[in-house]
Homo-oligomer: A and B are copies of this chain.
Amino acid sequence: MASLLGNLFILAAPSGAGKSSLIKALMEKYEGNETTPMQVSVSHTTRQPRPGEVDGVHYHFVSREQFEALIEQGVFFEYAEVFGNYYGTSRVTIEQTLHRGIDVFLDIDWQGARQVKKLMPDTCGIFILPPSLDVLEQRLNNRGQDSEEVIAGRMAQAVAEMSHFSEFDSVIVNDDFATALGDLEAIVTAQRLRTMKQQMRHQVLLDELLGSA
């Protein structure tokens, strides 16, 4: 896996930290950018599509039977069962994309992150935190679709997710959105500048510069 030009990123966060908005903004900013190609990995899931979700774009929606068959075939890089639904990431697709020099972003939780890190230690894990407990509560409330009980459950789940932040390589505090987006971009750029990746990208230049020794 060390010979892949693209970089694999994991983005994890508690619900309400603003992860989805950050990923969306990043993808929009770099859409069509040929020097920094990137894409979000599309996961498989057994959960029902929410309104507006498109099969193949937001998720590959499959049945429980289909998912378990794919597990058997070893297709998944990582998978987890959350609230009775399976979520998984296709290893083969990701490797092909990285091989083409495209950075891939995995929008997963700490459990998935741990599995991916084990298989690809070179993966860059990023954890996004809210700027305060108040803001987190507000953000979970602002969705306005759920009861207090559901919100309290989400808060507890958010805290549980956050307790794993130190398993990640980098931490972004999403206080000011533009700053957080800039931080995310900096991490992505810095990963591309690592010597091993630059060596692959600039092999011709390096041969020219060092060949005259």
Contacts and interface: CB of A to CB of B under 8 A. Distances in A.
A84 to B, nearest CB: 24
A195 B169 contact: yes
Interface in A17-38: none
Number of copies: 2
Most buried by B among A171, A183, A199, A206: A171
Interface residues of A, number: 41
Contacts of A193: 170-172, 183, 186-187
A154 B61 CA distance: 62
B170 A195 contact: yes
A26 B43 CA distance: 40
Given A129-B202, A171-B198, A173-B205, 13 more contacts: A159-B209, A159-B212, A162-B210, A165-B195, A169-B195, A171-B193, A171-B202, A185-B186, A186-B186, A186-B190, A187-B189, A187-B190, A190-B190
